[in-house]
Amino acid sequence: MLKYQIQTLHKHYLHKIKKEKRRIIGTQLLLLCVFFLTWEVLSRLQWIDPLIFSMPSRVWELAIENIADGSLLIHSSVTLTETIIGFTLGTIGGTCIALILWWSPFLSKVLDPYLVVLNSMPKVALGPIIIVAFGPGIPSVIAMACLLSIVITTLVVYNAFQQVDENYKKVLLTFGATKKQLFRHAVLPACYPTIISTMKVNVGLSWVGVIVGEFLVAKQGLGYLIIYGFQVFQFQQVMMSLLVIAILASLMYKSIEGLEKYLMKRKKRM
């Protein structure tokens, strides 16, 4: 009797959770529809300038057109590729530099002030120098994305390496561990959570780097579409590019989250 009661209560509880989830998603979708609808209506009624803000239906038309002639795909894939490469280089490069600093305390002390300067420096200001160094093309864009994320990754991950509890290292040292083993078995795994959260931050930073880079030099890509649309007063193109960027960036963020969840689950399962 009692057991039966508990079971029904549990079912009830699960049902409630499901219902709440559905309500949240429903409201979220509703909000999105309201946003686009308001935009469309306001624009049509000329309450906001349709020349500047365009309207969803026109943006949609343009998107269909550009998908059909394949140009949107090309621009998106160029930008996405640049972002992913910049992101990967920034994250891995930053982690590797952090490793080198951890390995050599002398070097880390020597480099400390330079890292502080680099970190507080607005990296975008280095744009012209990057273009001169890498040429006016995709390499410059990637370098910009990488530069934006690599310094902060280095600082955050190095800091995490240093914060690892000495006693985990001591445990390994009692087995005669080498420095490499200390890193591989204690320091690095202890810092996985930090590295993952740095990756999340880096997604945003590399998008900033790529778009700014494309503003400056590109002949292709979503950033180029934005700046070009702006120059020729084609604002539906600007809006379309913005929406595509929003979608792609969130997808990238979500896949990092997915990776995190996968790692957590694997950890729990093993």
Give me 223's structure tokens: 């950033």
Which one of 17-25, 70-78, 176-184, 229-237 is the stretch in contact with another protein (CB under 8 A)? 176-184
Long-range contacts of residues 257-260, Cβ cutoff 8 Å, at least 24 apart: 257/200, 259/196, 259/199, 260/196
Residue type at 73 in one-letter notation: L
Cα–Cα nearest to 187, from 201, 173, 202: 173
Per rule CB under 8 A, count of chain residues that contact another protein: 20
Please say which residue, 49 or 165, places its beta carbon nearer to another protein: 165
Q: How far is the CB of 256 from another protein (least distance, A)?
A: 19
Q: Does 195 bind another protein (CB under 8 A)?
A: no
- Whole-angstrom distance, CA of residue 255 vs CA of residue 250: 9
Q: Does 181 bind another protein (CB under 8 A)?
A: yes
Q: Does 173 bind another protein (CB under 8 A)?
A: yes
Long-range contacts of residues 172-177, Cβ cutoff 8 Å, at least 24 apart: none
Give me 256's structure tokens: 């990092």
The C-alpha angle with vertex 265 and arms to 262 and 270, in degrees rounded to 5, equals 120
Give me 45's structure tokens: 């009624």
Pick the binder of another protein from 171, 246, 251, 259 (CB under 8 A).
171
Q: How far is the CB of 89 from another protein (least distance, A)?
A: 27
Please say which residue, 18 or 184, places its beta carbon nearer to another protein: 184
Pick the binder of another protein from 62, 186, 211, 226 (CB under 8 A).
186
Q: Does 266 bind another protein (CB under 8 A)?
A: no
Contacting positions for another protein (CB under 8 A)? 165, 167-168, 170-177, 181, 185-186, 189-190, 192, 267-268, 270
